[in-house]
């Protein structure tokens, strides 16, 4: 089971490239997470994290572009 803090940090890893690269480089998670949550993050699939974040970012960009075109032609 995950906590709101862990879920928030995972969302940040998917959306914040700078935080993601810092995490991948240093391997440290923010304070406030339990030892079990930190252990889970230590075992994260690093390639999968990057791939998922890039895919998510592309979808967000396309959605923003579509919104602007709908409103501003």
Q: Which two tokens stand for residue 32?
A: 């406030």
Give the whole-angstrom CA distance, residue 62 versus residue 54.
12
pLDDT band per the 50, 70, 90 thresholds, residue 68: low
Give me the residue spans of the domains in the chain. Answer: 4-72
Q: Tell me the chain's radius of gyration from C-alpha atoms.
A: 15
Length of the chain: 73
Q: Which two tokens stand for residue 43?
A: 């075992």
Question: pLDDT at position 24, please?
Answer: 94
Q: pTM, whole model, 2 decimals?
A: 0.77
**HSE-up (13 A, CA, CB side) for residue 54:** 7
Three-state SS at 64: helix
pLDDT tens-digit series, residues 5-63: 999 999 999 999 999 999 999 988 888 999 999 999 999 999 999 999 999 998 888 88
């Amino acid at each position: 089971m995950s906590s709101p803090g862990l879920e928030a940090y995972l969302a940040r890893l998917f959306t914040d490239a700078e935080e993601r690269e810092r995490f991948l480089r240093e391997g440290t998670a923010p304070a406030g997470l339990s030892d079990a949550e930190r252990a889970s993050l230590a075992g994260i699939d690093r390639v999968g994290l990057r791939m998922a974040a890039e895919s998510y970012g592309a979808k967000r960009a396309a959605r923003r572009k579509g919104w602007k075109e709908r409103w501003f032609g």
